[in-house]
Structure 1
Amino acid sequence: MDLDTALAAHSDWKVNLRIAISSQKTLDASRIASDCQCDFGRWLKGDGRVAHASSPSFKLCDTSHTEFHRCAGKIAEMINRKDFAGAAEQLEAGTPFSRASQSVALAIRRLKNEILQPA
Structure 2
Amino acid sequence: MNIDEAVVKEGELRGKLLAAIAAQHHLDGKSISKLDVCMLGNWLHGEGERKYPFVKSFKPCVEAHSAFHAELEKVVRQINLGEYEQAKTMLAGGTPAAKAFVALVQAVAQVKKDARL
TM interval, shorter chain, is over 0.9
Could you tell me how far 1:60 is from its partner in structure 2? 1.7
Does residue 103 of structure 1 match 2:103? Answer: yes
Gaps of 5+ in 1: none
Structure 1 counterpart of 2:45: 45
Could you tell me how far 1:4 is from its partner in structure 2? 0.9
Structure 2 counterpart of 1:30: 30
Bigger RCO (CA 8 Å, 6+ sep): 1
Q: TM-score, normalized by length of structure 2?
A: 0.92
Cα deviation digits, residues 85-115 of structure 1 (max 9, x gap): 1101101122111111111111112222233
Between 30-39 and 76-85, report the one with greater CA deviation: 30-39
Runs of at least 4 residues off by over 6 Å? none
* Matched-pair identity in %: 29
Superposed CA RMSD = 1.3
Does residue 61 of structure 1 match 2:31? Answer: no
Q: Contact between 1:57 and 1:107, CA under 8 Å: does it hold in 2?
A: yes
Gaps of 5+ in 2: none
Cα deviation digits, residues 20-69 of structure 1 (max 9, x gap): 11111111111102212212212211211111111122112100000111
Does residue 114 of structure 1 match 2:114? Answer: yes
- Whole-Å separation in 1 of the counterparts to 2:32 and 2:88: 17
Q: Contact between 1:64 and 1:107, CA under 8 Å: does it hold in 2?
A: yes
- Whole-Å separation in 2 of the counterparts to 1:34 and 1:70: 10
- Whole-Å separation in 2 of the counterparts to 1:85 and 1:32: 20
Secondary structure, aligned partner of 1:56: coil
Aligned length: 117
